[in-house]
Amino acid sequence: MKTIGVNALLVAAVPGEAQMQAIYMDETQPIELRVKDALSRMTLEEKVGLCYAQSKFSSRGVQRLGIPEVWMDDGPMGVREENKWDEWGGAGFTNDSCTAFPALTCLAATWNPEMAAIYGKALGEEFRYREKDVMLGPGVNIYRTPLNGRNFEYMGEDPKLAATMVVPYIKEAQKNGVATCVKHFALNNQETWRSGVDVQLSDRALYEIYLPAFKAAIVEGGSWTIMGSYNKIRGTYASHNDLTLNKILKEEWGFDGCVITDWGGAHDTKEAVLNGLDIEMGSYTNGLSTGRAFAYSDYYLADAYLKGLKSGIYPMSSIEDKASRILRLIFRTAMNRHKPWGSFASPEHAAVARMVGAEGIVLLKNEPLKKKESALLPLDGSLYKKILVVGENATRRLTEGGGSASLKAKEEISPLAALQAKYGDKIQYTMGYASGPSVYGREGKPAFNTDSLRVQAIEMAKDADLIVYIGGLNKNHRQDCEDGDRKSLDLPFEQDVLINALTAVNPKIVMVLLSGNAVAMPWIKQVPSIVQGWYLGSQAGNALVDVLSGAVNPSGKLPFSFPVKLTDCGAHAFGEEGYPGLADTKIETYKEDILVGYRWHDTKNIPSLFPFGHGLSYTTFKYSKASISAKSIEKDGTLTVTIPVTNTGKVAGKEVVQLYIGDVKCSVLRPLKELKSFQKIALAPGATEQVQFTIKNDDLCFFDEVKHAWVSEAGAFKVYIGSSSTDIRAMLDFELK
């Protein structure tokens, strides 16, 4: 919480006639004029003071001039609890229990920009109510490997999907006068060696795969801040990297906001000064004694920077630029007296969490046990006398853990509680397996005899009418958690053994996986119904039961591919050089290049377990004959593609119609096809919608490394329209003149 109110600061600092003359205080004046005026009144020491932390989650203002400090807090799925001033531990407040929204993998799985806007608005309101100026999120790093511990914080493997979803999130969040801080820029695609791994990749991979979502966040979304990642990029740390921060972010994209380090992401004063960093947070720069471990004046952009400016080592233009950017941020947020009040942990926000969660849940498989029978889902309670719920995740709080994404949620409705509320005393429960407590940085040991848990579950399964298994991963270390990647693609805690044993005694099983990552499924042929449920936040149980019961028809689509085995991923196809990097040098080369996710599966003809864009429904959709407005396109022209889609089932449902484009012949390697557009439509039974897409030259381009420009080559192209990256319902051909 802020220690001094903004209005009190303004009045006390600049009283009387001088206050009237202070242009920087006048919100009717252009922001650049206000910045210039404020700079003219500040001392060099005050300008440098803006550039580094004053506490764990705040940086200085200029109290003498009534310019308030900047308060930040972790997101991007809820407002983190209040911390102690200079420690990671909670402050013990009783009024900081937030709404936990679904993880960003779930939001991406909605494939619905309207959901992203609603989500961003609600989250921004919570940050505003808590008087935060910067929310540390959203995350848009690309899902490169299913082992990455932070994939649940991101928006999938495809740059088009992530870019489309992040823009409305940012726009709506920032309407609350709270800056988003898009992270982690860039190439933070693993947690193994995250503070030292040196990523090597081609310009094509950088521009085509790993930058587009960040660019959309800045250029289209207008994010006011961005966070530098921990890793190195081509030998230089990302938080002060000339290529990504100066040349790309600030020059090519015209970014006028602040670059903020990830906590402890700065390593050198000269690089921090010259290579684009603006605000340094969380650095451990003293190292001499525990009592001064957080000596803020020892930060790289603190006393060392001030001394270098005074001695002429660093140009004065550097501090003028940094201070200008920080003032711009303050005027947009902390010093904005016209922003709304916000709201916190409200019923309306709970409804948003439930709605987004239900729309993001993905029905992976739903097959009848026998040909003439119905599938197990939706779950009709009248058909069963005894429904056995198995799995620790049915009761475990999954808003907690995961590192900086851990939340102090006001409530978390468990799947078991929601199932009991829906189906009453038909529900029985047994754990079946157990993990340890969530302890950051190490793996906790379970407090149960796991063999006994498994034996009990098998015995109870024998006379159950239906089993609902709720397992997957959790936010423990080396699962879906910051600062540690997963050890393997397999389910942890011997769940595969348990699942095989359950299916052997009772084939009527609905599998619910709660995770932010793909998992291996050696039991897939024995399990008739599988649901990918993600981390669903405060309303987890209600959102899940909405879908299981059929109250909500599932419409989520996978934002990343599920491989059969780990080596089916491009990142894992080249040995340790491709992931996690060479042990002696920590150099990691993205040898799969632009072929990430479904691009790799398609182009290399490697089947996935479940493809990118996959997701079933309780109804069916028919794609009729597609048409295209012309057989050729000029480089400055457009084409229109139209396809009728009909709900041929008995219930209303939503479908995501996906358009991919492939370059038939090109001078460089290109994927078989790439997602270029999608639309989510809602159809009543029997209804038809004419879905239209516009194709333009930008959709046909690749990044030319020699010209350092986006180019397209004349020739034949193919349009693929489908319900997933492999379920293609229509194909069309056209030519680029």
On whether both 586 and 496 belong to a single domain, the answer is no
DSSP assignment letter at 101: P
Mean pLDDT of 198-224: 98
pLDDT, tens digit (0-9, with 9 covering 90-100), for 344-374: 999 999 999 999 999 999 999 999 999 889 9
Residues 457 and 570 in one domain: no
**What is the β-pairing status of strands 232-233 and 362-366?**
unpaired
Q: State which of 332, 366, 401 marks the end of a domain.
A: 332
- pLDDT of 15 strictly over 70: no
Residue 624 covered by a domain: yes
Q: What is the arithmetic mean of pLDDT over 378-400?
A: 97
Tens digits of residue pLDDT in 661-672: 999 999 999 999
Q: Token match 């009534």: residue? A: 66
Residues 513 and 594 in one domain: no
Per-residue model confidence as pLDDT tens digits over 124-134:
999 999 999 99
More confident call, 509 vs 87? 509
Judge if 323 and 250 occupy the same domain.
yes
Phi, psi dihedral angles at 200 (to 5 degrees): -115, 130
Q: Could you tell me the pLDDT band of residue 290, with boundaries at 50, 70 and 90?
A: very low
> CA 249 to CA 215: how far, in whole Å?
8
444 pLDDT band, cuts 50/70/90, is confident
H or E segment to which residue 683 belongs: strand 674-683
Is residue 612 domain-shared with residue 679, that is, in the same domain? no
**Residue 1 pLDDT:** 43
User: Does the reported pTM lie above 0.85?
Assistant: yes
Model confidence at 175: pLDDT above 50: yes
Residue 257 has pLDDT above 90, yes or no: yes
pLDDT for 680-703, tens place per residue?
999 999 999 999 999 999 999 999
CATH of the domain at 675: 2.60.40.10
Q: Are residues 209 and 235 in the same domain?
A: yes
Task: Give pLDDT, residue 12.
Answer: 47
Asked whether residue 283 falls in the same domain as residue 135, the answer is yes
Query: Poorest-confidence range of 276-285, 488-497, 580-589, 706-715?
Result: 276-285
Could you tell me which residues are beta bridge partners of residue 3? none
- In a shared domain, residues 468 and 578: no
Q: In this structure, are 573 and 513 located in the same domain?
A: no
- 262 catalytic residue (yes or no): yes
Q: Is residue 337 part of a domain?
A: no
Whether 660 contacts 675, CB under 8 Å: yes
Tell me, what CATH number does 81's domain have? 3.20.20.300
| 138 domain-assigned | yes
Tell me the C-alpha distance between 318 and 525, whole Å.
61
Q: pLDDT at residue 649 above 50?
A: yes
| CA Rg value for the chain | 26
Q: How many domains does the chain have?
A: 4
Sorting pLDDT into bands at 50, 70 and 90, what band is 441? confident
Checking if the pLDDT of 445 tops 90, the result is no
φ, ψ at 412 (rounded to 5°): -145, 110
Residue 283 has pLDDT above 50, yes or no: yes
Would you say residue 572 lies in a domain? yes
Res. 3: pLDDT tops 70: no
Same domain, 603 and 723: no
Q: Given this model, what pLDDT does residue 288 score?
A: 44
Residue 294: pLDDT band with limits 50, 70, 90: low
Q: Determine the 3-state secondary structure of 284 from DSSP.
A: coil
DSSP β-bridge partners for residue 575: none
The CATH number of whichever domain residue 471 belongs to comes to 3.40.50.1700
**Mean per-residue pLDDT, 703-731:** 98
What's the CA gap between 264 and 285, in Å, rounded? 9
Q: What mean pLDDT do residues 508-536 have?
A: 98
Per-residue pLDDT at 599 exceeds 90: yes
In whole angstroms, what is the distance from residue 271 CA to residue 260 CA? 14
The answer to whether residue 644 is domain-embedded is yes
Write out the residue range of the structural domain in which residue 600 sits.
561-618
* Contacts with 556 (C-beta within 8 Å, 6 or more apart), sequence order: 106, 109, 110, 111, 359, 360, 361, 362, 363, 532, 615
Helical (H) or strand (E) element with 181: strand 179-185
Shared domain for 602 and 684, answered yes or no, is no
Q: Decide if pLDDT at 592 tops 60.
A: yes
Among 492, 488, 453, which residue's Cα sits nearest to residue 472?
492
Share of the chain above pLDDT 90, in %: 92
State the catalytic residue, choosing from 158, 262, 480, 602: 262
Asked whether residue 380 is domain-assigned, the answer is yes
For residue 10, is it within any domain?
Answer: yes
Query: Within this chain, do residues 548 and 668 fall inside the same structural domain, yes or no?
Result: no
Q: Within a domain: residue 338?
A: no
Report which of residues 718 and 76 the model is more confident about.
Answer: 718
| CA dist., res. 735 & res. 208, Å (int) | 22
For residue 5, pLDDT beyond 50: no
pLDDT surpasses 80 at 291: no
